[in-house]
Chain A
């Protein structure tokens, strides 16, 4: 008997269609895996009854011979996606008890395609964080360990629960969302494939908003082929999202030729950071060699505004967040603070938001409030948006010069243990701002540690296809094929991302 939890989507699809397995059996196997995997804290709301019903329904479709690719495939859903009647909290206390009376466009499409939804997955609160430690549910745990060391590691974030669940075999694939790396970084930390699609490709409707001009949902899977299959089901025009791209969705899987001969791969010199750990440097160099061996042309390029991307993000994302999160006021949904005698509506707002939002979310909302406030709007917000134009121009110029894709290291350092990320009362932004040195130091201590979890991740304004080996490929927006092609080629030449998990 094969291990059903180790199947890829493509393998499970074929096995379901040729009747060597059934949808209910597959779902039961994953339920058992989720129960056994509870110490990972990946699934935070299990929906097994729903999953069993969906599996029965999927089997009827399979029996009738009318089954789409995802029919009967068990997947996990990041807690950011609204599902009708299912707790949806964005890992925040302020949404405690919230059960949406509607379904996000993405989950609706997945359900229509016959996917079996196993439950909601852990994440950083409101997707703000990169280690899953701002979650009200407590942190998710990476199923991987360093060799000879049992210290729990972070799965990254914000889609940390999704990454941990897919890597550990608790679901065949999961949805994630990416605002500033929240799919790509956890995918890299857990050795799976993560893809942030072009903005507008996947509807944002029904996904709890963080920074609307940056948020985009995408697949987290074990292989590039699976990412292609899942993306085809998630993508599509949606009249309910005004930024949704009105373009036909191609058959991404059919584009996986693995042929990258003649493609030009740009390597931006700005991504070579001083003090990059040797192991990462070596992996990156190897990725470069492998792409060259597969027939691609490697070209050194420059993206001069790279260093300003993070400071611009630190203005734009909080600004949009402060606006989006204004809706959590204790009136319409979620949790309201207990009020004292004589408290008015302002006290209700202030107390509700103080106890409902965690420290990181509070900090970002307040920073956003400040940069949008009268007198500072031009100095901070408008300047950051101008710099964003220049950052995009760097990419446009690189692509216009004939570059098909850009290769970058996914996270430029091995993953830190959870403890190293959890400062004593320190906060994530502080650490990101000042803690680069600190992170690098701990990275150095770990040496090749992360290499055990090396993996694939993805980044690009368009298709972020994963290259096993800690590489990441960026493609021009809307360019439909190179992402797939390169991703597949990366997988072919570098080897399939690690499947299954240590435990």
Chain B
């Protein structure tokens, strides 16, 4: 299937990566090439085959539903590009 410029723009938007308009055609071609390669998978008969979920045959472990961590505000904010008054600061989200 061919990936067009509009699809490439949509993918970039979904991925939250800004791609300049003039780069979209080249990006679409790259996606096309990769998906063309991946298309070989259509040759495989996967009827009745379960998708692999666990790498090793194991059940995810459970643990008691208790608090194990917390009270680390300073550490949590330590690496934030912009933190004020104990919060992460971001540009305006709603008008």
Binding site for B on A (CB under 8 A): 97-102, 198-200, 213-214, 239, 242-243, 245-246, 305, 307-308, 311-312, 314-315, 322, 326, 329-336, 339, 343-351, 353-354, 357, 362-363, 365-367, 369-371, 373, 380, 382-390, 392, 427, 429-430, 433-434, 477-478
Contact-size category for B: 35 or more
Nearest chain B CB to A411's CB is how many angstroms away? 19
Assuming A332-B88, A367-B34, A429-B30, is B46 touching A390 (CB within 8 A)?
Answer: yes
| B30-46 with Cβ < 8 A to chain A | 30-31, 33-44, 46
Contact A389 B51 (CB under 8 A): yes
Contact B11 A335 (CB under 8 A): no
In the docked arrangement, what's the CA distance between A249 and B68, Å? 26
Contact B92 A354 (CB under 8 A): no
Contact A354 B18 (CB under 8 A): yes
Contact B41 A387 (CB under 8 A): yes
Contact B31 A366 (CB under 8 A): yes
Residue B60 interfacial (CB < 8 Å):
yes
Nearest chain A CB to B4's CB is how many angstroms away? 13
Contact B51 A331 (CB under 8 A): no
Contact A334 B79 (CB under 8 A): yes
- B30, B39, B44: residue with the most chain A Cβ atoms closer than 10 Å: B44
In the docked arrangement, what's the CA distance between A383 and B51, Å? 7
Given contacts A350-B18, A433-B33, 11 further A-B contacts (CB under 8 A): A213-B55, A243-B55, A308-B40, A314-B38, A333-B81, A347-B91, A353-B16, A369-B14, A370-B11, A370-B14, A430-B34
Contact B46 A387 (CB under 8 A): yes
Contact A354 B33 (CB under 8 A): no
Q: Output the nearest chain A residue to B56 by Cβ-Cβ distance.
A: A200
Binding site for A on B (CB under 8 A): 11-12, 14-19, 27, 30-31, 33-44, 46, 49-53, 55-56, 58, 60-61, 63, 72, 75-76, 78-82, 88, 90-93
Contact A389 B52 (CB under 8 A): yes
Nearest chain B CB to A217's CB is how many angstroms away? 14
In the docked arrangement, what's the CA distance between A361 and B40, Å? 23
Contact A345 B93 (CB under 8 A): yes
B91 touches which of A100, A339, A384 (Cβ 8 Å): A339
With a CB–CB cut-off of 8 A, which chain A residues contact B34? 314, 363, 367, 429-430, 433
Nearest chain B CB to A377's CB is how many angstroms away? 11
Assuming A366-B11, A429-B30, is B55 touching A344 (CB within 8 A)?
Answer: no
Nearest first, the 10 closest Cβ-Cβ pairs linking A and B are A385-B51, A333-B79, A336-B81, A386-B46, A350-B18, A354-B18, A101-B75, A369-B15, A349-B16, A433-B37
Contact A344 B11 (CB under 8 A): no
Contact B52 A367 (CB under 8 A): no
